[in-house]
Amino acid sequence: MVDKRILVVEDSSRLRAFITENLETAGYSVIGAESGKEAYAALRDTYVDLVLLDLNLGDVNGLEILKTIRRQDESLPVIIVSSITSSGTKIDGFDTGCDDYITKPFYVDELLARVRRLLKRAVPDERPATAIAETIRSGPFEINPVSMEVRKNGKPIDLRKKLFDLFLFFARNPDAVLTNEILYARAWNVGDGVNDNSLYVHIRQLRLLLEDDPSCPRHIQTVRHSGYRYSPDPANSM
């Protein structure tokens, strides 16, 4: 018996039932979600080994779910299953972080083969307990990866998406020295055309929003000739 749990995010009840039946026949445990709201709840509350993700959901674009997953879980296998066949959409899917893309209609044997391949390659020990957390607490900050809300000591801070992604990456890697190259690769999407000056501007904007005294930052510190370090608790940092 295959001991793997798969989340099927598909708004068509008929197709969702068809996929679920075939996955369960193959020995997998299946969780179904017909909307983005249900998908977020499953990803927040349950450990899953793989996600089959439709793009055209009633309440949210599937790529937004994928972006939320990748903000916290970089190794969870995700296969987009969509009727959209354009190369641009496929490229967007891979750039956002999907591991595979299969178009509807599809042969169920092909889908199962792709599932097996990704599950065989996955390393569960590198995965967090759930793909997304409702709230991440880091020093005085509370971060909600789904709603992209940030609070400091209970007070809301408005961060646009790029600043939010950058700060979330810092918060996931506290007290680590992060080079410019790492921040480019992990906090920006491929092809955004970032450079040292662009990163400096974003860091400066983050400090203006997050620091008590941006001219003397205590949370986002510059490490000379190396990069930046985020300290959630500056009093205990080196």
pLDDT, mean over the chain: 88
- Domain made up of 136-236: CATH architecture: Orthogonal Bundle (1.10)
Over residues 82-109, the pLDDT tens digits come to 999 999 999 999 999 999 999 999 999 9
- Backbone φ and ψ of 202, nearest 5°: -65, -40
Could you please state the CATH topology (level 3) that the domain comprising 5-126 is classified under: Rossmann fold (3.40.50)
What is the β-pairing status of strands 78-82 and 100-103? parallel
Domain pair 5-126 / 136-236, same fold: no
Over residues 4-16, the pLDDT tens digits come to 999 999 999 999 9
Domain ranges for the chain: 5-126, 136-236
Over residues 111-142, the pLDDT tens digits come to 999 999 999 987 666 666 777 777 889 999 99
Q: How far apart are CA 79 and CA 144, in angstroms?
A: 24
pLDDT at 235 over 90: no
Name the pLDDT band for 191 (thresholds 50, 70, 90).
very low
pTM of the predicted structure, to 2 decimals: 0.71
Give the per-residue pLDDT at 112. 97
Q: How far apart are CA 67 and CA 36, in angstroms?
A: 12
